[in-house]
Structure 1
């Protein structure tokens, strides 16, 4: 799964002296200084003026314009600073949820891997939503939402994938929740706590197995396990799944999270926000990347060596899945945490050895480290899960992060993410097009 993150910075103070007729006024900025503070091109500054979002004054001598520094900073606070990201161009938002730096990542300032080691998925979700730990909390699906989601999923073709089922379950659960338009923090959290178990509960059992519900005492990981595999869960393997859910809950402004924030900026309800995230998640460069790692790792286990499998990938110009991450110079900390837990799962030993073989073999060609996709692949291959299992784990887990970002975005000025297109078509006026002759 390819995640993205951006460095966060507060706009710095900038200004100069100005005044007319001896009047005292605040500092003024040049067009260039204003553009830098807003993180846009100079021509975009004048677009803000034309929209009435900024006022300007001709500079002394008639060369250029000046802008009130306080007014510019107010616009920055309302719209979010736009500036180049760490690797390429992108939006940058202030957020208090996730920080990624120095090959580590943190949820509200707490090391995320340590948090996941000591707390289950629901507790971690509550932490990123509210900044509070609620020991032993369990999310409960409202009966109406769960029933609607199951009926909708049951109507899908048998070959439907897990993400297809989750999207359909999401729409059905939303329709069954008349309070979904309540965007207050209390209303959003109430919907979220019911949505996640509704999504999991709507997935069919793996292998047609029967599974006795344990009522309110059953956590999300325990509910999800029999939807992924017919193999029984040991305490050690269930701990890996629960930790994976906690680790994947958020990863700053990944592509799916950006889509979720755009939806929240338009004040879409929480179900629609999650739907936006799921739509992006299905891309092969994001949540679906774990399926590629699963197939590759399964082949390595079958052939007994990573060398021919890695060679096949390189020969055909394909990247070796499960390796490298644009935000980490070393091993993905999520992978490190999961590998440590997988070492305690006896049936995972062959897949874990195969993963290490992939890393070692590829290192002869390029120094890449394992990412979380490879760790998820070890779990799915070892426990008889399908290739898409990692994507399902990712989708269920990241729902918590999308909700957290929606809560932040609902508190911002609506529709603040309105970029301007750079038109490259024919200049008007153009003649009306001629109808195409029939036949």
Structure 2
């Protein structure tokens, strides 16, 4: 029953909200949070705390002046935008592009024709991946492959849009093969081939849609890391590596893997409320739910969910999705984000739990490259902020 679920101590609740215990109790006294008291002290409902944290994030994401307190609060971009809860690429709705091949959308976004990765580069990247221990995760394999591609490219130092696009095509066409897939004109099919030798058309269609929807999304922390590196005139491999470093974090791409584990628990019979309470124990929030840039469901998730019913395990997965959505909506008032849709895609397509991270990175690489190319046209080192000393 709900009353038996694990609860947060006052220390854990304060840490989740990023406040001092005194501030937490101030919230309680103002009726903003409920607590239960017994002989061992005060405890808090984990999902209620998460809902409160999400509400505070949404408020913080809408400042009256975008640059208040932020030396680099705004970076102009013509790549992606979010208007009226819809994701747009160069003024076109992203969800209207999901029926087009990923490579075709990238060629349009970059305004540059596809050039496949050289066989020698793929061989170097594959060798780096194969040298990893068996327990290496998706992000480990991606970083290793990136190193292999960079090492094979003696002309990577040219900080121009043309070179960035060439490197981008090398990564987008070569990564699926280096990770175990087979070369194919359809990049989604090549990528899925790294996990299953004979993917169904429905699985390829869903993965292609995910790749398109993940290309770019405002100025995510990984995208900013890529632009900062490009501002210092790092080559495109190094800039993508900087983005990968920022992305491999529990509040960014790693959230997709955490969400996949949550969904797996529910699919194996665990009650949604208990699975959610267990997922909250690491203090990183409810994986797969809530996004400060959307008032409701993440536009990308909303576009992906309808494609999942036709996948091999679509029916069982969507049943678990519905039960989790209901539990979170009732208890935390949060809507699904793209991490939840990616986890559902992996479950419905019978892909590994860390497959969402790989799909995310391959799709987002197209956006990182677009931003890197754009940053090369800006004055060098413009993204080097000044520190404000506050020490003794």
CA drift of 1:104 comes to: 0.6
The aligned counterpart of 1:226 is 193
Report whether the alignment pairs 1:175 with 2:151. Answer: yes
Q: Which of the two has higher C-alpha Rg?
A: 1
The aligned counterpart of 2:322 is 356
What's the Cα RMSD here? 2.8
Of stretches 277-286 and 309-318 in structure 1, the one that deviates more from structure 2 is 309-318
CA drift of 1:267 comes to: 0.9
Distance between the aligned counterparts of 1:377 and 1:114, measured in 2?
Answer: 22
The aligned counterpart of 1:105 is 87
Selected match of 2:167 from 191, 198, 223: 191
Selected match of 1:114 from 79, 96, 111: 96
- Taking a change above 3 Å as real, the CA distance of residues 400 and 98 of structure 1, as seen in their structure-2 partners, is same
The aligned counterpart of 2:255 is 289
Distance between the aligned counterparts of 2:344 and 2:222, measured in 1?
Answer: 24
The aligned counterpart of 1:248 is 214
CA drift of 1:304 comes to: 6.0
Distance between the aligned counterparts of 2:90 and 2:188, measured in 1?
Answer: 23
Report whether the alignment pairs 1:405 with 2:389. Answer: no
Gaps of 5+ in 1: 9-38, 40-81, 206-212, 427-439
Q: TM-score, normalised by structure 2?
A: 0.79
Question: What is the SS of the residue equivalent to 2:246?
Answer: helix
User: Which of the pair has the greater relative contact order for Cα pairs under 8 Å at 6+ separation?
Assistant: 2
Of stretches 313-322 and 412-421 in structure 1, the one that deviates more from structure 2 is 313-322
The aligned counterpart of 2:177 is 201
Report whether the alignment pairs 1:299 with 2:280. Answer: no
CA drift of 1:331 comes to: 0.6
CA drift of 1:236 comes to: 0.8
Selected match of 2:245 from 270, 279, 283: 279
The aligned counterpart of 1:323 is 289
The aligned counterpart of 2:348 is 382
CA drift of 1:128 comes to: 2.2
Corresponding residue pairs, total: 335
Distance between the aligned counterparts of 2:274 and 2:166, measured in 1?
Answer: 51
Report whether the alignment pairs 1:146 with 2:122. Answer: yes
- Taking a change above 3 Å as real, the CA distance of residues 89 and 307 of structure 1, as seen in their structure-2 partners, is farther
CA drift of 1:103 comes to: 0.6
Gaps of 5+ in 2: 1-53
CA contact 1:98–1:251 (8 Å) conserved in 2: yes
Question: What is the SS of the residue equivalent to 2:295?
Answer: coil
Report whether the alignment pairs 1:417 with 2:383. Answer: yes
Distance between the aligned counterparts of 1:99 and 1:109, measured in 2?
Answer: 8
Question: What is the SS of the residue equivalent to 2:331?
Answer: coil
The aligned counterpart of 1:16 is none
Q: TM-score, normalised by structure 1?
A: 0.71
CA contact 2:61–2:292 (8 Å) conserved in 1: no
CA contact 1:222–1:238 (8 Å) conserved in 2: yes
